[in-house]
């Protein structure tokens, strides 16, 4: 590793980019496994179903929802495994679970096999949004942390779109073989990648951590910037060691950590309840209604591909602007625009219910804007902010907790959205999503700190109240119930 920087120039970002791409390859596989449901549901419920007897709506619903149920304990499992055996081995574990899922689908067409395979996808889901963001954050330097951190959403939505396309072009078994090749390729390629420097320091492998940092930064091991970054990691580790051994207890008893934890929960729930999940599932009905009396006719899979394309464009925009605009402005703008689009969509349904003319393009536009805002701001920024507000000791637990809550929200929305919409009116549902988004925009403006290019200590400084800052200025200690945990 000592001389790798010579291949690309000292200070090059190429090794970080290569590592981040391979870290997020399982996320692409996860996106493909979720996207697989769209084209394959149509096939499995048709007369040409490979199962001989077409699957029922009930069976399909459980196939779709079981991954979200398994994801809840899987989030905590992946957080524990990531801290215990390292980010690298945890990542290889989730790729193994993905391989098993596709092998099961190739081996049997029975409903139990489909549900078991989707259960394995729940483990992949947990790792994709717990281990991968943590790993990416810990190998990235501050200047490109936002760009590389946004890859998790880009790879997720690209995987969705990839599954929509191959599902439309290839046979059932061919799709399964292609999807199986993704985690298999990752298992082979990722063997060459290092573990995160933060984990190595935690395990007392300081010299190895120094070599990994030098390789990632394309610099010599004795370079001042590399040594400074290693010292920052060691300081973070020492601060973690001084706090309570019980992570949950430390968070609850520390005022600043508790505020950061509340922010992480709020931005995660805002992302999940912004309307993107039910909007995606309700897209067929919206397109059908909007197409009446026009020449716009799209098949269900073409609708899915259209939305997948919008998601990919949104995530590309996020990767491009997140370091320029900052996390906070991007979160505020996308929450605000998404809220307005949801309210417009609700108003369209009200106008139609009362026989008032409303343009046919409005629901399609609102739908696309909501999906675009979700992938360009709400999703990537919530993941980035959550990872950047906490040190190594707390990241895994916080990410697992927030993702478990997100999984529960996703499961409930998938199971009950249509029933609730039918009972109280679909327009009420969209007004509710719009209100959530607008509230999230106000919350982000008033409460969420900017984390771009900032250390944990600087971020936590923003979370202090005016009174706490005044006490420090006057030389009085601020009571946090725990020792200071900042870098």
d(CA 194, CA 212): 7
DSSP 66-80: HHHHHHHHHHHHHHH
Domain annotation covers residue 484: no
Question: d(Cα 128, Cα 380) in Å, to the nearest integer?
Answer: 13
- Structural domain boundaries, residue 312: 243-469
> Is residue 5 in some structural domain?
no
Measure the CA–CA gap between 265 and 257, rounded to whole angstroms: 12
Most confident of 13-22, 60-69, 310-319: 13-22
- Is 481's pLDDT higher than 80? no
| Residues 23-57: tens digit of each pLDDT | 999 999 999 998 888 788 778 888 888 888 888 87
pLDDT tens digits along 279-335? 765 565 556 555 555 555 666 677 778 888 898 999 898 888 887 888 999 999 999
CA 198 from chain center: how many Å?
A: 21
Q: Are residues 258 and 176 in the same domain?
A: no
pLDDT attached to residue 2: 45
Report if residue 480 sits inside a domain: no
Per residue in 352-369, pLDDT tens? 888 888 887 788 788 889
Among 330, 319, 441, residue whose Cα is nearest residue 377: 330
Report pLDDT digits (tens) over 132-190. 998 998 999 988 888 898 899 899 989 988 988 898 889 999 999 999 999 999 999 99
Nearest to 33 by CA among 211, 226, 183, 200: 183
Sign of CA pseudo-dihedral 47, 52, 58, 62 = negative
pLDDT of residue 292: 56
Domain assignment present for 159: yes
Residues 435 and 286 in one domain: yes
Is residue 155 in some structural domain? yes
Would you say residue 303 lies in a domain? yes
Q: What is the pLDDT of residue 417?
A: 75
Residues 180 and 261 in one domain: no
Q: Are 50 and 146 in the same domain?
A: yes
184 and 254 fall within a common domain: no
Rounded Cα distance, 360 and 345, in Å: 11
Among 134, 161, 193, which residue terminates a domain? 193
- Per-residue confidence at 252, pLDDT binned at 50, 70, 90? confident
Which CATH number does the domain housing residue 153 bear? Answer: 1.20.1250.20
26 with 142, same domain?
yes
Please, are residues 274 and 283 in contact by the beta-carbon 8 Å criterion? no
Which pLDDT score, from 0 to 100, does residue 1 have? 44
Residue-level pLDDT at 402: 92
48 domain residue, yes or no: yes
Residues 6+ apart with CB under 8 A from 212: 1, 194, 195, 196, 197, 200
Phi, psi of 51 (to 5 degrees): -85, 0
Q: What is the pTM of this model?
A: 0.82
Q: Are 374 and 314 contained in the same domain? A: yes
Same domain, yes or no: 186 and 275: no
Question: Do 152 and 260 fall into the same domain?
Answer: no
Residue 392 confidence (pLDDT) above 90: no
Amino acid 289: pLDDT: 55
Residue 400 falls inside a structural domain: yes
Query: What's the confidence (pLDDT) of residue 28?
Result: 96
275 in the same domain as 402: yes
Contacts of 485 (CB under 8 A, 6+ apart): 239, 240, 242, 243, 250, 254, 256, 257, 391, 393, 456, 460
Q: Give the 3-state DSSP-derived string for 339-367, with helices as H, strands as E and coil as C.
A: HHHHHHHHHHHHHHHCCCCCCCHHHHHHH
The CA distance from 77 to 247, in Å, is 15
Q: pLDDT, tens digit, for every residue of 72-95? A: 899 899 988 988 999 999 999 999
Same-domain check for residues 179 and 253: no
Over the chain, what is the mean pLDDT?
85
Q: Is residue 439 very low, low, confident or very high in pLDDT (cuts 50, 70, 90)?
A: very high
User: 362, 349, 370, 359: which is closest to 307 by C-alpha?
Assistant: 370
- Distances in Å between the Cα of 359 and the Cα atoms of 137, 228, 348, 431 are 44, 59, 8, 19
User: Residues 189, 297: one domain?
Assistant: no
Residue 285 pLDDT: 55
Domain count, the chain: 2
Rounded distance, CA 446 to CA 73, Å? 33
- Cβ atoms 123, 396 nearer than 8 A: no
Residue 246 CA, distance from chain mean position: 26
Q: Which range scores top for mean pLDDT: 10-24, 37-51, 62-76?
A: 10-24
């Amino acid at each position: 590793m000592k001389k790798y920087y010579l291949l690309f120039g000292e200070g090059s970002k190429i090794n970080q980019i290569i590592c981040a791409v391979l870290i997020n390859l399982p996320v692409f596989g996860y996106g493909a496994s979720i996207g697989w449901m769209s084209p394959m549901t149509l096939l499995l419920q048709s007369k040409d179903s490979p199962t001989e007897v077409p699957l029922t709506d009930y069976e399909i619903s459980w196939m779709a929802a079981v991954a979200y149920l398994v994801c809840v304990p899987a989030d905590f499992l992946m957080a524990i495994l990531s801290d215990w055996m390292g980010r690298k081995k945890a990542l290889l574990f989730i790729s193994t679970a993905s391989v098993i899922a596709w092998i099961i689908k190739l081996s049997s067409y029975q409903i139990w096999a489909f549900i078991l395979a989707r259960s394995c996808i729940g483990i992949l889901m947990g790792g994709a949004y717990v281990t991968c963001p943590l790993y990416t954050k810990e190998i990235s330097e501050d200047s490109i942390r936002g760009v590389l951190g946004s890859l998790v959403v880009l790879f997720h939505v690209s995987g969705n779109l990839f599954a929509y396309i191959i599902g439309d072009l290839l046979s059932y078994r061919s799709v399964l073989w292609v999807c199986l090749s993704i985690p298999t390729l990752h298992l082979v390629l990722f063997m060459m990648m290092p573990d995160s420097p933060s984990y190595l320091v935690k395990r007392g492998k300081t010299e190895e951590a120094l070599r990994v940092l030098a390789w990632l930064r394309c610099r010599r091991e004795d370079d001042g910037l590399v040594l400074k970054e290693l010292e920052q990691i060691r300081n973070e580790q020492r601060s973690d060691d001084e706090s309570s051994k019980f992570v949950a207890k430390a968070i609850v008893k520390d005022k600043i950590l508790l505020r950061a934890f509340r922010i992480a929960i709020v931005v995660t729930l805002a992302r999940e309840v912004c309307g993107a999940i039910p909007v995606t599932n309700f897209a067929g009905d919206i397109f059908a209604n909007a197409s009446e009396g026009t020449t716009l006719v799209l098949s269900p899979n073409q609708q899915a591909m259209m939305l997948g394309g919008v998601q990919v464009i949104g995530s590309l925009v996020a990767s491009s602007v997140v370091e320029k605009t900052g996390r906070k402005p991007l979160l505020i703008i996308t929450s605000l625009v998404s809220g307005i689009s949801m309210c417009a969509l609700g108003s369209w349904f009200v106008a139609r219910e009362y026989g008032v003319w409303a343009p046919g393009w409005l629901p399609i536009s609102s739908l696309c804007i909501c999906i675009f805002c979700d992938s360009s701001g709400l999703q990537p920024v919530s993941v980035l902010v959550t990872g950047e507000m906490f040190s190594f000791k707390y990241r895994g637990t916080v990410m697992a907790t927030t993702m478990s809550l997100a999984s529960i929200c996703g499961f409930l929305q998938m199971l009950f959205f249509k029933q609730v919409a039918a009972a109280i009116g679909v327009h009420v549902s969209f007004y509710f999503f719009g209100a959530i988004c607008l509230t999230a925009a106000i919350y982000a403006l008033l409460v969420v700190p900017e984390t771009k290019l900032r250390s944990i200590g600087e971020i936590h400084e923003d979370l202090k109240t005016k009174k706490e800052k005044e006490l420090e200025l006057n030389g009085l200690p601020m009571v946090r119930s725990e020792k200071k945990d900042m870098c």
